[in-house]
Amino acid sequence: AQSVTQLDSQVPVFEEAPVELRCNYSSSVSVYLFWYVQYPNQGLQLLLKYLSGSTLVKGINGFEAEFNKSQTSFHLRKPSVHISDTAEYFCAVKDTGFQKLVFGTGTRLLVSP
C-alpha cells in the first residue's frame, strides 16, 4: 500500500515570505499525487495534482509542486504567502489499484504579519 510522510507538523512564516511544505511518498512506481488545503471548520479543497507529464505542477492560489521521482518527493511551494494561506495542508497519494486517497498527517501553515 502507498503512504505519504509530511515531515513538518507546523511551519511558521511571515507574510510575503516564500514557503515550502515537504512531502515524501513510499513508492517509486507510477503514482498520482495531490495536495489539499483545509481551512478551519471546512472540508478539503484540491490545490493541485500530479498524474503524469511535466514534473512541475501549478495549482490554485499561486501554489506549485515539483514531482521528484529519484527522491520520491512532492514538495509544495509558494513564492510569497498571504495571511489567508493560514490553513492545514495535506499531501495525498492514490493507493495502488484502487481509487482511494491515502493522506499524510498534515502540515499547519501559520502566516503572521
Partner 1 sequence: ETGVTQSPTHLIKTRGQQVTLRCSSQSGHNTVSWYQQALGQGPQFIFQYYREEENGRGNFPPRFSGLQFPNYSSELNVNALELDDSALYLCASKAAGGTYNEQFFGPGTRLTVL
Sequence-distant (≥ 6) Cβ neighbours of residue 42 within 8 angstroms = none
- 11 vs 32, which CB is nearer to partner 1? 32
C-beta of 14 vs 39, nearer to partner 1: 39
Min. distance of Cβ 84 from partner 1 in angstroms?
18
Residue ranges that bind partner 1, judged by CB under 8 A? 32, 36, 41-46, 49, 51, 90, 92, 94-95, 98-106
CB of 45 to partner 1, least distance (A): 7
Beta bridge partners of 4: 25
2 vs 73, beta carbon nearer partner 1: 2
Q: How far is the CB of 111 from partner 1 (least distance, A)?
A: 20
